Chains A and B, each alone.
Chain A
Amino acid sequence: MARTPMPRADLLAGTGFLALGLVAAVESWRMPRFEQLEVNPWSVPGLVPGLIGLVLVLLGGLLVIRALREGALAPGAGAARELGFDAETGRRTLLALLLTLGYAIGLVGRLPFRTATFLFVLAFVALFRIRREMPPGRMLRELALAALEALLVALAVGFVFERLFYVRLP
């Protein structure tokens, strides 16, 4: 199988891993060595994470070098295009991301679980299914179906987790 080159994306990823490895190695070096407790120097907590950090620096560095060789800095290179993002896929991904983050970080824990779930499923299904070009009747039907699904999911998930498997809900 041939590798699809994505030099700009690889450059970004490689730099990220290189930096992460470096931070991990430095932070590991700064970890206590318990000299006053006379512990064996080969058992100190920073040893393994430090080595893992160094390996990440090496591998990230290799990825950066490869990306540069493949033209990561060439004028036409762009990470979004290499990863197959266009206006439509970008819009869909962003909408899905905003809705899910809104639910998991914004609603859950602040509103009762069933209310939060109802609102999330309703918004997700309605926003993805209803199109501007639909006739108003079809729009209303989609909205009603989304509300019905949201209600069923909120009640069913609550029932299955709490009553059947005795698991606590957020």
Chain B
Amino acid sequence: MPGGLELFLEALWGFASPWTLANVLWATLLGIVVGMMPGLTATLGVALLTTLTFKMPAGDAILVLICMYVGAIYGGSRSAILLNIPGTPANAATTLDGFPLARAGQAGRAMGIATAGSFCGSLIGMLMLVLVAPVLADFALAFGSYEFFWLAMFGIVISGQLTAIDDPLKGWIAGFLGLLVAMVGQEGIHAYQRFSYGITELSGGFGLLPVLVGAFGFAEILQVMKQPAYEVVRNAGGRILPRLSELVRYWRTILRSGLIGTLMGLLPGVGEDIGAWGSYAAARRASRERETFGKGSVEGLLAAETGNNAAVPGAIIPVLTLAIPGSAPAAVLLAAMFIHGIRPGPLIMIEFPSFVYEVVAMVLLASLAILVLGLALTRPLLYVLAVPRERLMPVIFVLCTVGSFAIASRLFDVWVMVGFGILGFVLREMKFPMAPLVLGVVLGPILDKNFRRAMVLSDGSLEPFFTRPVSAVLAALTLLSVLAAIPSMRAGLLRLLARLRIGRAAVRDTPEPGS
């Protein structure tokens, strides 16, 4: 079997056609535009484009979707810098230093730094994808029903907790609501139609794409229309091309943020938002210029933008190797892979090893495209921000409607989109995060089938859920995550850790007998 590098080079060579490069350019540019517009997220962009590309050949469609994904997460930095409004939730940390830089007349510099950070983040994430995916897939081959059950449960708990850090209870409710939504329709063991009540359209359950388009598209349209209008900034001010010396100076921050971003992407349903916040917090803690953070720090901006873009390939790792999405847009990507007949999961390195390296090559092409387009089209792209929302939102709603209808050609899916849009709007207003809900919808069937299979195998005994090594680790992680979210428990855990540390220090400092 050819090695990884060979497969990667083969994949790159395979993409060296004008048609493919044209696809990379338009999809990345569209992604940047979607990301720039407040109210349009990467999830919505990837979902709408999935409905548009499902008649394309699999390779072309996945390439277009990855370019949209990478482009949108990067594009959101533009509105964060120029409007102080994150274009996508992943760019919230970017506003902290990006906007002060713009206000100080250095918008061009800030956009250049954000572009360089996003490019470096994507590259670090891509390298991690090459290194981690084959190892994780190999490791996951030994996973049974017990492990997949815990993986799904851990995903819901950690996603609920990290996407609603100030209120994990709401994150968990959103996750379990997603799981319940996934229970509607025919189940996989006895083919019984649950919660369908004789409605034919419900027999197959709710389609993932109409649910996503509703929760991320329609809900956002309502939220944007609720808010007061935003001021449009047109001044790109100053030099755009980032200075190499600035990047070299902060190489540690770039590397650290890239690794943190990838790790946050890897965790089920956590994704780019936390990738950026985690990287930003770590950079601030380690920085010698801590006091400039929040006032226009180049290091802070670099950390946030490196972190969120590194989370993109990071979130693709579990999609490919476990069929579990690392983020909301990655959940759509996973659905798109199934639509196109690709079966991600632990067997991917055996069944489709070349596909993993094709995805790596796609990420590389998308990263190069954001670098080129981001730096070359800075000023023309500013016009995107000048489109008033009253003109834009009806167009987006038309796309949501057509997109929901397109997959199965049934009006029922349009109603599902509308229903989940209204539900999503109400939940968002009440500060329930959407990512755990989406993850719940994706993980529902996995959790259901594996829990029941495991219970049948163990004849009703819960013991193997806690005694098999990987299961035990995942169970402990899930439990610790829950405990860490309860304030009194967290304080107790911290006290225990502190006591252990003191104990260890005391042992170290005690002179050995006879010395």
Contact = CB atoms under 8 A, between A and B. Distances in A.
Interface in A25-63: 27-28, 31-32, 34, 39-49, 52-53, 55-56, 59-60, 62-63
Contact of A52 (B183, B190, B222, B399): B183
B447 A48 contact: yes
B195 interface: yes
B138 interface: no
B456 A89 contact: no
A48 B402 contact: no
Contacts of B409: 168
A124 B401 contact: no
Nearest to A145: B391
Contacts of B459: 42
A20 B393 CA distance: 32
B53 interface: yes
Given A6-B430, A48-B448, A40 B456 contact: yes
B176 interface: yes
Nearest to B183: A49
Contacts of A10: 430
A1 B176 CA distance: 24
Interface stretch (A68-76, A96-104, A133-141): A96-104
Interface residues of B, number: 65
B441 to A, nearest CB: 12
Contacts of B172: 59
Contacts of B393: 96, 124
Interface string B422-465: 10000101111000000000000001100111011001100000
Interface string A116-127: 010011001100
- Majority secondary structure, B binding face: helix
Interface in B162-202: 165-167, 169-170, 172-173, 176-177, 179-180, 183, 187, 189-190, 192, 194-195
- Majority secondary structure, A binding face: helix
A59 to B, nearest CB: 5
B394 interface: yes
B432 A43 contact: no
Given A34-B190, A108-B411, A27 B195 contact: yes
Interface of B: 51-56, 165-167, 169-170, 172-173, 176-177, 179-180, 183, 187, 189-190, 192, 194-195, 218, 221-222, 225-228, 388, 390-391, 393-395, 397-399, 401-402, 405-406, 409, 411, 414-415, 417-418, 422, 427, 429-432, 447-448, 451-453, 455-456, 459-460
